[in-house]
Amino acid sequence: MAYFSFKYEALKDFSQEVFEKMGYTKDEAAIITDVLLTSDLYGIESHGMQRMVRYYKSIKNGRLKLGAEKEIVFETPVSAVIDGHDGTGQLLGHYAMSLAIEKAKKTGVGIVTVRNSNHFGIAGYYAKMACKEGLMGFATTNSEAIMVPTFGRLAMIGSNPLAFAMPAEPYDFLFDASTTVVTRGKVEVYNKKGAPLPEGWTVDANGNVGTNASEILKNIEQKKGGGIVPLGGVTEQLGGHKGYGYGMIAEIFSSILSMGLTSNHTNIGSTGGTCHGFAAINPAVFGDPEAIKEHLSTFLKELRESPKAEGQTRIYTHGEKEVEAIDRILRDGVPVNENTVREMKTICDEYGVDMEKYLGKVEL
Amino acid sequence: MAYFSFKYEALKDFSQEVFEKMGYTKDEAAIITDVLLTSDLYGIESHGMQRMVRYYKSIKNGRLKLGAEKEIVFETPVSAVIDGHDGTGQLLGHYAMSLAIEKAKKTGVGIVTVRNSNHFGIAGYYAKMACKEGLMGFATTNSEAIMVPTFGRLAMIGSNPLAFAMPAEPYDFLFDASTTVVTRGKVEVYNKKGAPLPEGWTVDANGNVGTNASEILKNIEQKKGGGIVPLGGVTEQLGGHKGYGYGMIAEIFSSILSMGLTSNHTNIGSTGGTCHGFAAINPAVFGDPEAIKEHLSTFLKELRESPKAEGQTRIYTHGEKEVEAIDRILRDGVPVNENTVREMKTICDEYGVDMEKYLGKVEL
């Protein structure tokens, strides 16, 4: 697929206008844009500009309600539950994590769950928000069912990422990963290439090892069975039950503690109902936060400097690849595939945004 | 290997006397015994009676100090850090989790970390303690380095289990798993059988896929390189970097937040230094705890009743296998292998315990 490369600042101004034209305020459009473009800067194309069309479609099909008012339905000094009333995932996520941070600064810990939301982008964005305030951050979400539980044949759990971040030098620790072995995005890449999937990623409609990407994706969409397997694989031999367990923890901290819809009931017809969970913890409730940060930084350095496997030159610590991607992409531009550009153009046509003004002339 | 079968009550009384004779008080011996035998009842032989000899040896080599006084070195209403001063893992774990529970009942959340401890048995035991009080429980620990980070060749992180439990009907949700693809115990089983290891469990001293169990175990012990790979396997293709990330979360909640020794520095020579992390969260800070419990129970039921893969008859939810194991083992007896019985006998000889009185005549 052909790729275009756009300057980060240009895409940012462009996205700002698009979301404002869709009906968001200036501040709201800025938050949504920042979440999407942070993903692109991290090198996670699947959750960046490419998702603009998804939000556009969700507004059209009624799963996402533009003017939704968020409501705090339960609150204590260490916790809150927010009903998003079908609002925008990024706005609810940003609000909920800010609330968790505020609570953590006062009490040491803040845990906030959200129900009736929509896709919120990358979980890591919210976990990382806490680091900027010197705190540890945690973020999770459920999603449309895509993970087949061990020994099952029907997707019952979402890709259910868990993200965790903690201040460290020279860069923060940032772990953000789906609890499935891979994300749907990776299966889509194989589908586009027409290549067989590596064994151990998916199961077919009967629950057997699957390798046909197009069939798997169609079956998931039509709820015919099959899907992506948990981290650890199809059986228990390589720990599939463990990935399934982590998926459950994501489910508990999003849908269960918010009394929202579990993954198997979300995103069906015009029902959205995605749920999220956020937590912030102040390391200062365990001692001197600077000493703790240095302790973590030392261990991360020991890991990076430990002996490499034959043929390998680096050991990464979590968050390092993202930092390097930011430098590279700010310098070389944000890669956007032609399909996404086409979708962006359709949206611009509807809302009367002059794409060329921001991104120059684009030949499709 | 030959197995003996002993009645649970008989083993319990036996273990009680052994630990009292070792120098523990009646209450202390009861806690240690309960942690070990709960593991046996769950069907996790590796962390049950079989470990008695490990504690015995740790006392002998000075890593475990019998009369150690625990010390709270930092405390807030939601947190505490305990220095175990080389005390007993089970006693420190039980104390720390009790403190976390007490805090969670008052504030909603309690997080307690422990440094300078020893092997504490199964993490799930402590997570489950919270359920008995209607709370969510979390427990983790670091351990002797055994996990090789992705692209590395030297073990830097422990088996670092994460355990999480939450009240549900008809049985609590209980997830307890090492963040390595398998535990050392599984590699030891292949070593005893002289069988090649399944690919994807270990790497050799050069960081290449390993299948020779005896060589792997020897190399880990002598810190020559190689070890068990993270959940997700040797490379990033099946998500090895994710298991490595979960191992890091365990490390952060044990050694980093307690300012203790990281896995790569523990259990070397006469240094112990194992660290643990515990948390309790009161679901009542998110709404009606009974409604939340019912919500989780419904989802667990939906999972168990969802369509099975071809050739499979059951989908398990986490904690279910343990409940079934308890029923079976209370009825049929606790299986103890002959090596363990031999070790128990040696310990009895030293401390003057009459094993036959509890377990009957044992022919070795």
Sign of CA dihedral B141, B281, B136, B38: positive
Under 8 Å between Cβ of B303 and B148: no
**Residues A49, A336 contacting (CB under 8 angstroms):** yes
Smallest CA–CA distance, residue A277 to chain B, in Å, is 12
* Contact yes or no for A306 and B207 at CB 8 A: no
Q: Which percentage of chain B shows pLDDT scores above 70?
A: 100
Sign of the CA dihedral running A223, A226, A231, A234: positive
Determine whether the interchain pair B233/A238 forms a contact, defined as Cβ–Cβ distance below 8 Å: yes
Residue ranges of alpha helices (H) inside chain B are 8-22, 26-41, 52-61, 89-107, 123-131, 184-193, 213-221, 240-251, 289-305, 320-332, 338-351, 355-359
- How far is it, in rounded angstroms, from Cα B81 to Cα B307? 46
What's the helix, strand, coil split of chain A in %, to 5? 45, 20, 35
Can you give the pLDDT at residue A351?
95
Using CA coordinates, name the residue in chain A closest to B73.
Answer: A287
Distance in angstroms (rounded) separating the CA atoms of residues A313 and A293: 26
Task: Say yes or no for a CB contact (<8 Å) between A206 and B181.
Answer: no
- Cβ of A108 within 8 Å of Cβ of B182? The answer is no
Name the residue of chain A whose CA is nearest to B161's CA: A242
Q: What is the pLDDT of residues B97-116, one digit of tens each?
A: 999 999 999 999 999 999 99
Chains A & B: contacts with CB separation below 8 Å: 247
ipTM above 0.95, yes or no: yes
Least CB-CB distance to B156: which of A148, A259, A303?
A303
Residue A131 token pair: 């680091």
Helix axes B89-107, B26-41, angle to 10 degrees: 90
pLDDT of residue B188: 86
Chain B residues in contact with A153 (beta carbon < 8 A)? 307-310
Nearest CA-CA distance, residue A41 and chain B, Å: 20
Partner-chain contact B232 A232, CB within 8 Å: yes
Segments in chain A below pLDDT 50: none
Torsion of CA A193, A196, A202, A207, to 10 degrees: 130
Using CA atoms, how far apart are residues A105 and A100, in angstroms rounded to an integer?
9
CA distance to B188, B205, B269, per residue, from B218 (Å): 11, 10, 16
Q: What's the burial of B265, exposed, middle or buried (CB within 10 Å: 0-12/13-18/19+)? A: middle
| Candidates A231, A253, A293, A321, partner chain B, best to mutate (most B CBs within 10 A) | A231
Tell me if A78 and B109 make a contact (CB, 8 A cut-off): yes
Contact check, Cβ <8 Å, B108/A286 = no
CB spacing of B248 vs A175 below 8 angstroms: yes
Looking at residues B118-145, what average pLDDT do you find? 97
Residues of A in contact with B109 (CB under 8 A): 78-79, 109, 111
In chain B, what residues touch A231 (CB-CB under 8 Å)?
Answer: 231-232, 239, 242-243
Least CB-CB distance to B295: which of A177, A259, A283?
A259
Give the percent of chain B with pLDDT over 90. 89
Strand extents, DSSP E, chain A: 3-6, 71-76, 79-83, 109-117, 136-141, 162-166, 173-177, 202-203, 209-210, 227-228, 274-281, 334-337
A chain contacts of residue B208, beta-carbon cutoff 8 Å: 309-310
Q: How far apart are CA A118 and CA A97, in angstroms?
A: 15
pLDDT at B361: 93
Tokens 């609570």 correspond to A103
Q: Which residue in B73, B107, B318 is closest to A245 by CB distance?
A: B318
Inspect the interface and report whether the beta carbons of B306 and A149 lie closer than 8 Å: yes
CB contact under 8 A, A318 and B248: yes
- What's residue A28's pLDDT? 98
**Per-residue pLDDT at A300:** 98
Task: Pick the residue from chain B with its C-alpha nearest to A265.
Answer: B299
* Cα four-point dihedral sign B317, A89, A119, A137: negative
| Mean pLDDT of the B284-302 span | 98
Q: Is there a contact between A293 and A168 (Cβ–Cβ < 8 Å)?
A: yes
Contacts of B279 (CB under 8 A, 6+ apart): B100, B104, B109, B110, B111, B112, B137, B138, B139, B253
Q: Are B266 and B158 in contact (CB under 8 A)?
A: yes
Does the distance separating the beta carbons of B177 and A242 come in below 8 Å? yes
For residue A357, give the H/E element and its range: helix A355-359
Amino acid identity at A29: A
Q: What is the pLDDT of residue A185?
A: 84
Average pLDDT, chain B: 95
CB contact under 8 A, B108 and A173: no
CA distance B328 to B348: 28
Sorted by sequence, the CB contacts under 8 Å of residue A150 that are 6+ apart come out as: A230, A234, A235, A236, A240, A241, A244, B315, B316
Contact list in A for residue B239 (CB cut-off 8 A) is 177, 181-182, 231-232, 243
From chain B, pick out residues whose CB is under 8 angstroms from the CB of A239: 177, 181-182, 231-232, 243
CA B231 – CA A245 distance, rounded (Å):
12
Closest CA to A200 of A234, A227, A230: A234
The full DSSP string for A58-122 is HHHHTSS-TTPPPEEEEEETTEEEEE-TT--HHHHHHHHHHHHHHHHHHHSEEEEEEEEE---S-
**pLDDT tens per residue across span B58-94:** 999 999 999 999 999 999 999 999 999 999 999 999 9
Q: Which of B156, B258, B303, B316 is the best mutation test for A, with the most CBs of A within 10 A?
A: B303
- The DSSP string of B237-290 is TTTHHHHHHHHHHHHIIIIITTT---GGGSSBTTB--EEEEEEEE-GGGGS-HH
The pLDDT value recorded for residue B102 is 98
Minimal C-alpha gap between B71 and chain A (Å): 14
Residue in chain B lying closest to A229 (CA)? B238
* Nearest Cα residue to A47 out of A113, A112, A124, A117: A124
- Does B309 contact A208 at a Cβ distance shorter than 8 Å? yes
pLDDT of residue A175: 98
Q: Report how far residue A357's alpha carbon sits from residue B310's, in angstroms, rounded to the nearest whole number.
A: 56
Q: Are A156 and B296 a contacting pair at CB < 8 A? A: no
pLDDT score at A186: 87
Q: Is A224 in a helix, a strand, or coil? A: coil
- Between chains, do A286 and B81 touch, taking CB under 8 Å as contact? yes
Q: Let me know how long chain A is.
A: 364
* Cis bond upstream, residue A289 (ω within 30): no
Nearest by Cα to A344 from A106, A97, A54, A68: A54
A248 with B154: Cβ contact below 8 A: no
Report the alpha-carbon distance of residue A333 to residue B44 in Å, rounded: 53
Residues in a beta bridge with A363 = none
